[in-house]
Amino acid sequence: MEGMLINRLFHAMEERCYNKMIWISHTNPDRVEKFLLDHPYILKDKLHVLRNFPPLSWGCALHKPSVHPMKVRVIYVGAFSNKTMYIKEFAEWVSMHSGRIVWDIYSHEFDSDTVSLIQKIDPRNISFKGYIPYRNMPYIVSNYDVGVILYRGHIDNYRYNAPNKLFEYYACGLDVWFPEELTSSYKYITNNSYPKILCLDFNRLVDYNLEELISRKGLIYKPSKYFFENEYHDFIQDLIA
């Protein structure tokens, strides 16, 4: 409760400064539009989009012609709670494949009930690994085939968001699977290239064919272009002008 009060206090102080600011940024155009609806008195020219991309050093992915021939190695990194994520649904789908998929979870923000849940569903093929220091992430993530995003999209903050993990997984050469509720991520869906970025209905995972999801047939290799050095170039030029 105290944390919420402090947050509201700082937000109120921030709002008083908006008219004095010359640059206000959000991580995607949807959030810019939502911000303008809440603050219609702010000049639109002050609003900019600056996405949260990883650094170029994360572009360490190898040219992978296919995923692992025997097992599809899936990773999840981040806060971990079945209350706000499709964890139970995804764990049951992993278990359904009887060892064809292995799923490793790395998190330092989780609840014990959720960890117990996945351990009960499939302790052989689902592993809770604990915490990864951010600087070590590309070296660990790049050992996997697929990075999964699990938000249920129960609030606008998730629906109108392309999560950082989407770009981080992708930078390391992984396919990315995200729930259909995350509408601001749709623009990053790939069509004729790999690594793939795919939108899935996590309420109907049984309808998907794993071999089709991971297939590279007819696709060209196209590595990520989403790095913060590219994104911030114009911003830096404006600062030094």
Q: How far is CA 63 from CA 136, 152, 211, 212, in A?
A: 20, 32, 19, 20
Give the pLDDT score at 111: 92
Contact between 77 and 147 (Cβ < 8 Å): yes
Q: Provide the token pair at 110.
A: 């989780």
Give the pLDDT score at 133: 93
Residues 152 and 190 both lie in one domain: yes
Q: Provide the token pair at 49.
A: 């989009």
pLDDT over 90 at 7, yes or no: no
pLDDT over 90 at 67, yes or no: no
Q: 231 lies in a domain?
A: no
Give the pLDDT score at 150: 98
Per the structure, how many domains does the chain have?
Answer: 2
8-state DSSP, 67: S
Which residue range forms the structural domain that includes residue 24?
2-50
Average pLDDT over residues 182-195: 95
CB-side neighbour CA atoms (13 Å) of 219: 22
pLDDT over 80 at 68, yes or no: no
**Is the alpha carbon torsion for 50, 166, 173, 195 positive or negative?**
negative
Helices 112-121 and 87-96, packing angle to 10 deg: 20
Residues 14 and 81 both lie in one domain: no
Residues 22 and 106 both lie in one domain: no
Q: 235 lies in a domain?
A: no
At residue 63, the 3 state secondary structure works out as: coil
Of 106, 109, 66, the closest CA to residue 217 belongs to 66
Q: 132 lies in a domain?
A: yes
CATH of the domain at 179: 3.40.50.2000
Residues 187 and 207 both lie in one domain: yes
**Is the alpha carbon torsion for 134, 139, 140, 145 positive or negative?**
positive
Residues 44 and 62 both lie in one domain: no
Distance CA 215, CA 233 (A): 35
pLDDT over 60 at 58, yes or no: yes
More confident residue, 94 or 28: 94
Residues 129 and 189 both lie in one domain: yes
Q: Give the global pTM.
A: 0.86
| Tokens 């690594």 found at | 195
Residues contacting 80, CB < 8 A, separation 6+: 87, 105, 107, 109, 110, 111, 114, 115
Residues 66 and 178 both lie in one domain: yes
Residues 19 and 65 both lie in one domain: no
Q: 237 lies in a domain?
A: no
Residues 112 and 29 both lie in one domain: no
CB-side neighbour CA atoms (13 Å) of 137: 27
Distance CA 238, CA 203 (A): 45
Q: Provide the token pair at 209.
A: 């064919």
Backbone angles phi, psi at 125, to 5 degrees: -115, -5
Q: 226 lies in a domain?
A: no
Residues 173 and 141 both lie in one domain: yes
Residues 124 and 183 both lie in one domain: yes
Q: 241 lies in a domain?
A: no
Q: 228 lies in a domain?
A: no
Average pLDDT over residues 7-17: 80
CA 241 to chain centre: 34
Tell the burial category of 132 from Cβ atoms under 10 Å away from its Cβ (0-12, 13-18, 19+). Answer: middle
Residues 31 and 88 both lie in one domain: no
